[in-house]
Chain A
Amino acid sequence: MAAPFRSCDHCAKPAVVHNTVIVNGKVIEHHLCEEHAAAVSGQAVGPVPINALLGQLAQVGAARARGPTCPSCGLTFHDFKSTGLLGCARCYDTFAATLVPVLERAHGGATQDVGRVPPEADVALKHRNEQLERLSRELAAAVAAEQYEEAARLRDMIHALRPQAPGAPGAGGAGTVPPRGSAP
């Protein structure tokens, strides 16, 4: 197939040399007439060595794949950016760092829910809050009695129970809600 007519990048003569190079992940096309091609030959427009080209392509690939991939549903950061949709409950933890500004923009600066909770989560939350209260009392007592090993144990338990920012290590995530499957 004949290439469509293009004039030289530097003059009005028809271009006979067409080169595509990738510089820092950007695709740059060069179209040159015979004279200008000869003038720059061996310099900027010379054929890119195949290894360099592959390296640049790999860079592009890496840029695309940058960001986490959801261990639960396999959604990549690129998928999320292109659709704006998350793939599963776990994604909210996987992409937590990216989500914070998205949530703030969409919800007038808010990043925490204050609305109603499903009954089973309600029960779970109440149960957890009761446990937290009890552990906090025990921790205060342990500290007062200078039982530091016991205090450290209690502190770790409290830490594990407390709801954390999505994505934080040990965040309960959606897993704290009993899974589906209650019989109809």
Chain B
Amino acid sequence: MSVPAAPRPADDSDVVMSCRVRLARNVAGMPFVGRSTHPQRREALEAIRGACGTPEATAALVAAAGATGTLAWVDMPSMPARDRQLLWERHLVSRTFADGDSPRAVALTQDERFSMMVNEEDHLRVQVLRPGNALRSAFDAAMAVDAALASRLGFAFHPRLGYLTACPTNVGCGIRIGVMVHLRALRLTNELEKVKRAAKELHLAHRGFHGEGTDATGDWFQISNQRTLGVTEHELLEVLAGRVVPAIVNWEREARRALVERQRLLVEDRVHRGVALLQAARLLTLDEAMKQLSTVRLGVSTGLVGGPSLDVINRLTIEIQSAHLRAADPSIEGDDDERAVRARVVRAAFGAA
């Protein structure tokens, strides 16, 4: 049986949802966040805000990051718990950063292509985010942001160890280059080991949907460099963008093709059941929704079902999380309400009543 060629978008978005380049920096001459008193943390926050705060500085940073619009500063302790969680669900802040009450703030552009956490584990965590596989552009933007910041702030730097970070595992370049990839087919064909082995050989980390210590909900994996010392930023970029990500993308595409070619009926069955379930369910847990969306995504990316689009599915994986649902529908009180609203949001996206 002939199989239609699967769509292969230029930005690899059939496999790669997004890519991120993150930098860890500390303000020179101040104790790291963990050893800082609240007044010292406020001082660090003011130093960073001050350095980025003038209209010209902000404009320069936003332009360097390749983002658009203004840079909004959000004071975390004064945010309601739901909104902090919402930022975490969008991968804009870490869990510990969202939960803490000491002086801390996040700055972000509306398009989320650029954000900064101030007073996480390090004084400054910069994040440049791009949809799809655009690692090189994200990397260039992160380097430009770093240069713009360094012209206004002195960073803790050691002639032998490079950029100093609170955790010795980040010292040196203080950089994490990573992608969020959807590996549904590799999981179905039991080939994830291949990815894990390659990651290990190249000193890369593979983590779940929400990073360190989380599981691969919906078959989403984050792959990023682990080493930051004894290697240049460009070498790390080449390992990720030049070798690992293309290899993973090809493996996943190959596994998808093989599945559709050899077990078409089985895959079609799963995909159509997934669509039917998501169109019909009145109550959905996050776990069930993520699982079914993953299978449907496999069907859409291989052309077995027409819709919804990959963009819509990607958006759903973010927006069916708890804080997003509660922000969209403030009438939610208990878990049952939440599951009902989740099912409604999914049905609407699938064009069902």
Contacts and interface: CB of A to CB of B under 8 A. Distances in A.
Contact of A119 (B53, B121, B150, B226): B150
Interface in B242-301: none
Contacts of B29: 89, 179-181
Task: Decide if the interface of chain A is mainly helix, strand, loop or mixed.
Answer: loop
Interface residues of B, number: 52
- Residue with the highest number of chain B CB atoms closer than 10 Å, among A73, A114, A180: A180
Nearest to B51: A184
A179 to B, nearest CB: 4
Contacts of B87: none
A83 B121 CA distance: 11
A85 B169 contact: no
B233 A116 contact: yes
Contacts of B233: 115-116
B35 A88 contact: yes
Given A74-B35, A87-B34, A107-B227, A184 B53 contact: yes
Contacts of A106: 168-169, 226-227, 229
A40 B34 CA distance: 51
A107 B172 contact: yes
A176 B29 CA distance: 11
A116 B234 CA distance: 9
Interface residues of A, number: 47
B39 to A, nearest CB: 15
Given A92-B161, A116-B173, A118-B150, A179 B28 contact: yes
Nearest to B29: A179
A136 interface: no
Interface stretch (B125-133, B151-159, B320-328, B342-350): B151-159
Interface in A127-184: 163-166, 172-174, 176-182, 184
A108 B232 CA distance: 14
Interface string B20-56: 0000001111111011000000000001001111100
- Residue with the highest number of chain A CB atoms closer than 10 Å, among B31, B163, B228: B31
Given A113-B229, A114-B230, A177 B156 contact: yes
B220 to A, nearest CB: 25
A24 interface: no
Contacts of A109: 230
B34 A85 contact: yes
